[in-house]
Amino acid sequence: MENEFDWLKKVQPQKTPGHLIQGIGDDAALYQSEASFDEVATVDTMVEDVHFKKSTMSPTDIGYKALAINLSDIAAMGGKACYYLVSIAIPQSGWTEDEVVEIYAGMKELANRCGAVLIGGDTVSTNDRLVVTVTVIGRVETGRKLLRSNAKPGDIVFVTGPLGSSAAGLHLLLKGDKRLEAFEYEAVVRAHQRPEPQLDIGRVLAKSGFRVSLNDVSDGIASEAHEIAEASGVVIDLFEGDLPYHESLDDFPEQKWKWILSGGEDFQLLGTIARDEWDHVKGSVEGQGGEIYAIGEVKEGESSVYLHNENGIHSIDKSGYQHFG
Amino acid sequence: MENEFDWLKKVQPQKTPGHLIQGIGDDAALYQSEASFDEVATVDTMVEDVHFKKSTMSPTDIGYKALAINLSDIAAMGGKACYYLVSIAIPQSGWTEDEVVEIYAGMKELANRCGAVLIGGDTVSTNDRLVVTVTVIGRVETGRKLLRSNAKPGDIVFVTGPLGSSAAGLHLLLKGDKRLEAFEYEAVVRAHQRPEPQLDIGRVLAKSGFRVSLNDVSDGIASEAHEIAEASGVVIDLFEGDLPYHESLDDFPEQKWKWILSGGEDFQLLGTIARDEWDHVKGSVEGQGGEIYAIGEVKEGESSVYLHNENGIHSIDKSGYQHFG
């Protein structure tokens, strides 16, 4: 197997952006900061047979998703993506060199679309299963802080797209379900294998200049809503009838609400914004071809999350469990 | 086991530096850049039973070293350390929660000394052995580029401390050698378990304003010298008699030169600087209590590395193998 340097050369960008001084090829990457922007940084790890299986994800999917989950964190800060670093522990057996190159190719496909450039990494061997860790560095306009702690009573709660799709897709993949081939399930399978970080919507929210609380839906909307409620010290009311989901979830009536509330890995953005500013932001997002849905409201009170449906109002915990009351 | 958020709270710094806007606790960290500084970023991974063993490294040592090897890359760019992110894959068994906390404590011990602040991370579980990945973000004065490609004929080649110590220490640890207890071997064992990133010397070199080529000795001086020779298109002559090493290596006559030339993990800085500027830099480093040794010179010619000793001049390859001729 080639050395780290050779690996990285293969996936090195042809053209480096203006702010990058030294990318791959020295001890560390060197880049200029940007006037009137703050820096945003995040890291996430995916472990074989914990976060993905070779049977349900192709190598390019694995790379794509490993970068996507990090870009989603950047999106949740309203940032634009700039740079990424990849550390990969490659098993002594079970993975071909081509497969590892495909992992990087999957990242690059998404990175090119988002304007992120690979600037460094580490490739090591392991006697165990594959582990891939991606660090992403992004930027957001100085003074913009789309934090979880920004929610205030009276805010609209919004989400940027369907919930539960990833969980539905994983379910089909793990079962080897014959419906996998059907067109109507393509969207949910894709949501699991190639989640789309909502960077464009994050940028709209950051540029709006409005106070926005924001979180990405990695662990399910129940958990993320709790994080905002706790960080902001507010009550979040969610309206079941307004929660967006892909129509194919109706074919799984038993799992549907569990997936929607706590399936996780949807990588949509969940946030809150003042009611007066909602129409403007919704218009801007939809004007760019994006989706954004009002799904609830913020109230005063001890941190908690409630789900309103035709049966009444239910306190829900982080796992999405509904306490009927 | 606690969730990621709880983990990170335990090791969260009490006081955040001026430039950090949001550390642990949101989707990503947010920090200001600094006027007249460029950003430096690097990532490195350590895998249990590949890069360390529980029998030879305590949990605090593992954490210390995982951060140190990254800080060494920052040092090799002349940077100061600012922030670090830690991603850790924790085995289902074999590691206690206390041991994992100690890994973070080992990092923090070094980080506090170097002024680096933990700003984020990811904790995941694994069915295999422990994997720890550290990302460090540092800064260096705008326009300073202490790159491997900066060497020029006529330069002095220097190194910042003893070579081969880490390899000697590992040898003793793996053998369970009874000499481990002896005072005279403490330095080499410590060099393996707790390598010291040479950040202070990197800063002296960066602030000097001189043209400096620089590399950290992670893979052995033979390999690092080749990297400078190749990146700069020069010949590097090393003088065996000038290579610094800990006196205890004389007790291992068979391994001594292999360890010095290619033992690796010494995390000293290897570099080159114009002969006219050498005395000034040496004075500055030593004035701060640091060590720096002239060990060779740069010549014109096709990229290569030669070792001069009493038997003549030998071409050496990246692995330190001497081609007698």
pLDDT score of A3 more than 80: no
CATH code where residue A74 lies: 3.30.1330.10
Is A64 annotated as contributing to ligand binding? no
The pLDDT of residue A323 is 76
Number of C-beta neighbours around residue B3 at 10 A = 10
Which of A129-133, A234-238, B184-188 bottoms out in mean pLDDT, i.e. has the lowest? B184-188
Contact A87 B51 (CB under 8 A): no
Contacts of A228 in chain B (CB under 8 A): none
Does the structure show a pLDDT above 90 at A1? no
Of the candidate ranges A120-129, A172-181, A195-204, B260-269, the one whose mean pLDDT is the lowest: A172-181
Banded model confidence at residue A8, pLDDT cuts 50, 70, 90: low
Which residues does chain A have within 8 Å of residue B50's beta carbon, measured at their own beta carbons? Answer: 89, 124-127
At B325 the pLDDT is 52
Structure tokens at B50: 């590949």
**CATH number for the domain including B186?**
3.90.650.10
Best of A27, A146, A269 to substitute, by most chain B Cβ atoms within 10 angstroms, is A27
Supply the ipTM of this predicted assembly.
0.92
B215 is in which domain, residue-wise?
148-323
Give yes or no for B231 touching A (CB within 8 A).
yes
Arithmetic mean of pLDDT, A168-187: 89
* Residues A146, A231: Cα–Cα separation, whole Å: 12
| pLDDT over 50 (residue B152) | yes
Looking at the structure, tell me whether residues A136 and A185 fall in a common domain: no
Please indicate whether, in this complex, the C-beta atoms of B28 and A122 are within 8 angstroms of each other.
no
Which chain B positions have a beta carbon within 8 Å of A88's beta carbon? 45
The verdict on B194 and B127 lying in the same domain is no
Nearest to A166 by CA among A114, A219, A224: A219
Question: Which among A80, A320, A293 has a CA at the least distance from the CA of A221?
Answer: A320
pLDDT at A189 over 50: yes
- List the single residue in B38, B86, B119 with the smallest CB-CB distance to A31: B38
pLDDT at B1 over 50: no
Q: Which two tokens stand for residue B291?
A: 């060590």
Q: Please, which residues 57-96 of chain A have a Cβ atom closer than 8 Å to chain B?
A: 72-74, 76-77, 79, 83, 85-89
Q: Is A16 left (phi over 0), alpha (psi -120 to 50) or beta?
A: beta
Element (H, E) at A43: strand A37-47
Considering Cα of A30, then B140, then B193, then A45, what sign does the dihedral take?
negative
SS (H, E, C) A186-233: HHHHHHHHCCCCCHHHHHHHHHHCCCEEEEECCCCHHHHHHHHHHHHC
- Predicted confidence (pLDDT) at residue B237 exceeds the cutoff of 90: yes
Q: What is the distance between the alpha carbons of residues A195 and A267, in angstroms, rounded to a whole number?
A: 7
Amino acid making up residue B254? E
Q: B17 near B117, Cβ under 8 Å?
A: yes
Q: What percent of chain B has pLDDT over 70?
A: 94
Same domain, B314 and B234: yes
How, if at all, do strands A156-159 and A269-273 pair?
antiparallel
Domain boundary among A85, A110, A141: A141
Lowest mean pLDDT among A168-182, A218-232, B114-128, B281-295: A168-182
Q: Cα–Cα distance between B325 and A310 in angstroms, integer? A: 88
Share of chain B above pLDDT 90, in %: 88
Average pLDDT over residues B77-82: 97
B155 interface with A at CB cutoff 8 Å: no
A293-299 and B293-299: which strand pairing? unpaired
B129: which chain A residues are within 8 Å (Cβ-Cβ)? 126-128
Same domain, A182 and A316: yes
Q: What does each C-alpha distance from A183 to A178, A191, B44, B162 come to in angstroms?
A: 12, 14, 42, 64
Task: Determine the Cα–Cα distance for residues A115 and A82; give it in Å rounded to an integer.
Answer: 6
C-alpha to C-alpha distance for A288 and A27, rounded to whole angstroms? 40
| Distance from the A172 Cα atom to the nearest Cα atom in chain B, whole angstroms | 24
A224 touches chain B (CB under 8 A): no
Query: pLDDT (tens digit, 9 = 90+) per residue, A286-311?
Result: 999 999 999 999 999 999 999 999 99
Q: In the predicted model, what is the mean pLDDT of residues B125-129?
A: 96
Find the closest chain A residue to B76 by CA distance.
A27
> Is B42 assigned to a binding site?
yes
Confidence at B10, pLDDT banded by 50, 70, 90: low
Tens of pLDDT, residue by residue over B182-219, are 888 999 999 999 999 999 999 999 999 999 999 999 99
State whether B119 and B190 are in the same domain. no
CB pairs under 8 A between A and B: 209
Distance, in Å, from the CA atom of A104 to the CA atom of A88, rounded to the nearest integer, reads: 10
> Residues with Cβ < 8 Å from A175, sequence gap 6 or more?
none
Instruction: Give the residue, A229 or B177, on which the prediction is more confident.
Output: A229
- The reply to whether B154 and B243 lie within a common domain is yes
- Cross-chain Cβ contact B30/A38 below 8 Å: yes
Summarize the confidence of residues A185-192 as an average pLDDT: 95
For chain B positions 135-154, those within 8 Å of chain A (CB to CB) are 135-138, 140, 142, 145, 147-149
Check residue B321 and give its pLDDT: 83
Tokens read off for B238: 């090393």
Which pLDDT belongs to residue A16? Answer: 45
Same domain, A167 and A299: yes
Band of residue B229 on the pLDDT scale cut at 50, 70, 90: very high
Q: Which residues, other chains included, contact A146 with Cβ-Cβ below 8 Å and sequence gap of 6+?
A: A76, A77, A78, A140, A202, A205, A206, A212, A213, A214, A271
Q: How confident is the model at residue A17 (pLDDT cuts 50, 70, 90)?
A: very low
Alpha-carbon distance A230 to B71, whole Å? 35
Q: Are residues A90 and A204 in the same domain?
A: no
Cβ-contact A53, B127 below 8 angstroms: no
Instruction: From A150, A145, A321, A146, select the one nearest A230 (Cα to Cα).
Output: A150
Q: How many residues in chain A?
A: 325
Residue A163 and residue A105 share a domain: no
Q: How far is A38 from chain B (nearest CA, A)?
A: 5
Q: Number of folded domains in chain B?
A: 2
Q: Among the three residues A118, A141, A164, which one is the final residue of a domain in this structure?
A: A141
* B177, B260: one domain: yes
What is the DSSP secondary structure assignment for residue A90, as one 8-state letter? Answer: E
Residue B324 has a pLDDT of: 62
Mean pLDDT of A240-262: 96
* pLDDT score recorded for residue A181: 80
Pair B101, B196 in one domain: no
**Among the residues of chain B, which ranges form H helices?**
4-11, 59-75, 97-114, 165-175, 186-193, 199-208, 221-232, 256-262, 275-287
Task: Give the closest of B26, B46, B73 to A147, CB-based.
Answer: B26
Same domain, A104 and A163: no
Asked which of A102, A126, A141 is the last residue of a domain, the reply is A141
Cα–Cα distance for residue pair B157/B236, rounded to 1 Å = 8
Please report how many Cα atoms fall inside a 13 Å half-sphere around the Cα of residue B181, on the Cβ side. 1
